[in-house]
């Protein structure tokens, strides 16, 4: 396992799965160049604020790695997010509905830190489905 794969696994397993916010501060460069489903982020604090909003909307959020490819200083991670929309984050009233989405994150590592990431998933579609969903 190369360094990029180790860092990406920690990012998703310790940061997202285990909820350890400190691991993001340890692993990410700041400034970081990230293109999330919500738009570009240029600092670690912006990323952490997005994460807090997501967790406020989906407090039981579970992220699992389904596949991970690593080559030199880059990784591609296929992940799955499951949760229930029971919180008010992201500007939506809770619907109680289950959420189950897949996405891919491409990461670039340099000097032992994650310096960039691109997330590919349909957050807009997810939000629209929650906006149009009748409350349970």
Domain with 25, as residue range(s), is: 3-132
Calpha distance 16→39 (Å, rounded): 19
Tell whether pTM > 0.85.
yes
What is the number of alpha carbons within 13 Å of residue 5 lying toward its C-beta?
A: 8
Asked if residues 84 and 99 have their Cβ atoms less than 8 Å apart, the reply is: yes
Per-residue pLDDT of 78-119, as tens digits, reads: 999 999 999 998 888 999 999 999 999 999 999 999 999 999
Calculate the alpha carbon distances from 25 to 76, 88, 94 in Å: 20, 25, 29
pLDDT value of position 64: 97
As for how many domains the chain has, the answer is 1
Per-residue pLDDT of 35-56, as tens digits, reads: 877 778 889 999 999 899 999 9
CATH number of the domain where residue 104 is located: 3.10.450.50
Name which of 105, 99, 116 is nearest 29 in CA terms. 116
């Amino acid at each position: 396992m190369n360094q990029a794969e180790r860092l990406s696994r920690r990012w998703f397993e310790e940061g997202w799965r285990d909820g350890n916010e400190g691991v993001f501060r340890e692993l990410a460069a700041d400034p970081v160049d990230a293109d999330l489903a919500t738009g570009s982020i240029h600092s670690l604090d912006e990323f952490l604020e997005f994460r807090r909003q997501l967790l406020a909307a989906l407090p039981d959020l579970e992220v699992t790695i389904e596949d991970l490819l690593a080559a030199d200083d880059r990784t591609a991670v296929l992940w799955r997010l499951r949760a229930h929309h029971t919180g008010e984050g992201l500007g939506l009233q809770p619907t109680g509905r289950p959420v189950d989405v897949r996405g891919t994150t491409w990461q670039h590592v340099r000097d032992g830190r994650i310096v960039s990431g691109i997330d590919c998933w349909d957050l807009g579609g997810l939000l629209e489905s929650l906006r149009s969903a009748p409350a349970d």
